[in-house]
Structure 1
């Protein structure tokens, strides 16, 4: 497929760099650039492929996601058909997840997008194991197993008859079982040193912020918007996203660097310590509950280098469901609706999290609740197909840039 020309004349000097082919999709407004062909050959386990991608091919991540082509909050996924688990037929396809500042262990919105494409795709050069995907007549769906850096992820994709076989039923949500989620703390008070308190907090005369901390492949912080000193409204009141980025970045940095919080960042499922990757700012006053769910809420997720997720986010939704299970608000069989600004603004159904199994405790960690098994449901849509090339002499296209980071260079 790498020899297929783009729908424009190839400029002189392009041929030295292989073309990349992407399917462009979005999940509730959050984009996924799905690399389906043209990525350099990688061998070994999926984690070793990820390490090679980081070391030798990070320019490709920047070329796809950074400006001048992409933007600071873009997200991507790279299909890896040959991993240790696809070779033993434990998985149908491997996936590497990429964002503006690096690589993710798991991503819910990109998983939904990748699963939609793979079930619709009958090109065995792209998806060698497509004909091994089993159709379940009773549920009118197929089960797809994706090999992610965080582990194997089972995805249930609803289908209808198509020309070549089953294709995705866009009227129903795609569901996947998230990585195991753990509630680390439902009421962690973070002390903000006097020299690091932001203005909104100072105005309230407060020196601390109450947050919740969960783990679902990575550490995720949940905080109510009013706890940060802002209006308790993410939707009707004007939101200064630049300020929220600064504040959540400050909050994450304090937790990640202050020794007082180190024990909260010990992995609940293995040895070692991590760091808070994302902060979910919540608004409990907005959000329409989907039928069959116990309630709804609105949130904005700042992840990685403070990128803003346009979707309700799958991993963060699983983490929040684990927190509510720990609080006693959700039990096995209960569902909750999570909205992002786009789903709420357009009256969409939102992303649904269902607690399949709740936990009892984490290893030797008093107060840690988990593992909690959560199913996430959502929809993805196609927005385009692209051929990515690079011209000789195009320094900006070669290096990529994020406008917010150019100051001072």
Structure 2
């Protein structure tokens, strides 16, 4: 039997993906085979979650993916692509569900869209604006968090992206909600490394989602905790306990969405080490960090939206000003000694205000984030009828005995 003939026979269930990574964090871009969903982007997300969540699980979870996999579903027809305000809609997916926005995925998808000349994949490719002088193309993406403008460096004719130069995007507005906040850790939430301390210093920001920022030492961990699976598991535990502590009623005032007023929760925690990593030329400083989001997912990249959130905190504290940038590394870029972290620059703000313990202030800050994304492959996933694991997927960490 020819294996390719057998795969072709199964093509009716095929999901076609382009594989990418941004500083080590994967983004699996679904370009063909996703069922038809219609209406607003929010409605499409609801339909995806209610009717087709098995496809998210199929392409993200094992045996085709893993618990830290990330992806994006191209949605060419949304209310903003139809009005001409956006070129493409996106649904971001991960092992636990759907995200409003994702920076590393935005960088990867933007580069792919410049290279995509198939009208069935990208119907509005011909509307992408190309600057022959700067040799770059600009496109607008419709995300659940809002419209995001991306700039992709290109070849002289504008038909292909130029991987030697970083892609950039203007992040959604970022708000500093609290800086240097002492969070009380109840006895039942404390982790061993915290020792005798009963509180942790954190900052909280909002950029499409709430993030908590702290330093590795503030959590009670030594520098070598950022290396190896044992350290990761301990950090996952500490983050889960910290998020539980931040769920207390006394912290809800810091978790009110600045645009809607709705009370949210911490989506992820950025654990940083100041001064660690290669500093990009022209950047004011550098930091290496590990971001743990959702239910323990570890981001391999420096994170795009959280880079904007970190800039919002730095701006609120007076560490950054308009036009100044900061270099953010992840463990991957720092370990390989490359300058391929993310660079985040404050473009503009409504003004710096005094932050008090009782509320948020500085913002919104508009930040440009740039980084490099690369292709790693091309997949067509199929499902055999007799495969008990084929229709969806599983996570080894979440398996339960029956």
TM over 0.5: yes
- Where 1:369 maps in the other structure, the secondary structure is coil
2:275, 2:285 within 8 Å by CA — same for their partners in 1?
Answer: no
Q: What is the CA distance between 1:233 and its match in structure 2?
A: 5.1
Return the match for 1:250 from 229, 241, 262: 241
In structure 1, the partner of 2:191 is 198
- Superposition deviation, residue 8 in structure 1: 1.8
Deviation at 1:388, TM superposition (A): 0.9
Deviation, 1:238, is 8.8
Query: For residues 368 and 327 of structure 2, what CA distance do their matches in structure 1 show?
Result: 12
Alignment correspondent of 1:371: 364
| Cα displacement (A) at 1:131 | 0.8
Gaps spanning 5+ residues in structure 1: where? 1-5
Q: Does residue 71 of structure 1 match 2:66? A: yes
State the match for 2:40 in structure 1: 45
Aligned to 1:3: none
Do the aligned residues in 1 keep the contact of 2:55 with 2:392 (CA within 8 Å)? Answer: no
2:120 aligned to 125, 129, 133, which one?
A: 125
CA contact (8 A) 1:214 1:323 kept: yes
Give the conservation status (yes or no) of the 8 Å contact 2:178–2:359: no
**Does residue 1:329 correspond to 2:324, yes or no?**
no
Map of 1:4-403 to 2, 5 A cutoff? 8-10=4-6, 14=10, 18-161=13-156, 165-202=158-195, 205-232=196-223, 240-256=231-247, 258-349=248-339, 350-360=341-351, 366-403=359-396
Is the contact made by 1:95 and 1:146 (CA closer than 8 Å) also made in structure 2?
Answer: yes
Offset at 1:174? 0.6
Q: Distance in 2 between matches of 1:239 and 1:279?
A: 18
Contact 2:139-2:149 within 8 A present in 1 as well: yes
> How far off its partner does 1:367 sit?
3.8
**TM-score, with structure 2 as normaliser:** 0.94
Q: Distance in 1 between matches of 2:3 and 2:379?
A: 10
Separation in 2, partners of 1:13, 1:237: 43
**CA distance in 2 between partners of 1:382 and 1:97 (Å):** 18
Deviations along 1:195-243, one digit per CA (max 9) or x if unpaired, are 22111112xx111111110000000010101111111456579961001
The whole-number CA distance in structure 2 between the counterparts of 1:12 and 1:111 is 31
How many positions carry a matched residue from both structures? 398
Q: Distance in 1 between matches of 2:253 and 2:277?
A: 34
Task: For residue 153 of structure 2, give the secondary structure of its aligned residue in structure 1.
Answer: strand
| TM-score normalised by length of structure 1 | 0.93
- Cα shift at 1:194: 1.5
Specify whether residues 139 and 241 from structure 1 end up closer, same or farther in structure 2 by C-alpha distance, changes over 3 A only: same
- Residues 19-60 of structure 1: CA deviation (Å, up to 9, x unaligned): 110000000000001000110011101111011101110000
In 2, Cα distance between the equivalents of 1:13 and 1:255?
52
- For residue 166 of structure 1, report the CA deviation from its aligned partner: 2.2
How far is 1:169 from its partner? 1.2
Counterpart contact for 1:221–1:278, Cα < 8 Å: yes
Query: For 2:205 and 2:233, how far apart are their aligned partners in 1?
Result: 25
Residue by residue over 1:124-165, the C-alpha shift from the partner in whole angstroms, topping out at 9 and shown as x without a partner, is 110001011111123211111000000100001111135xx5
* Segments ≥4 residues shifted beyond 6 Å: 236-239
What secondary structure does 2:328 align onto?
A: strand
In 2, are the aligned partners of 1:234 and 1:283 still within 8 Å (CA)? Answer: no
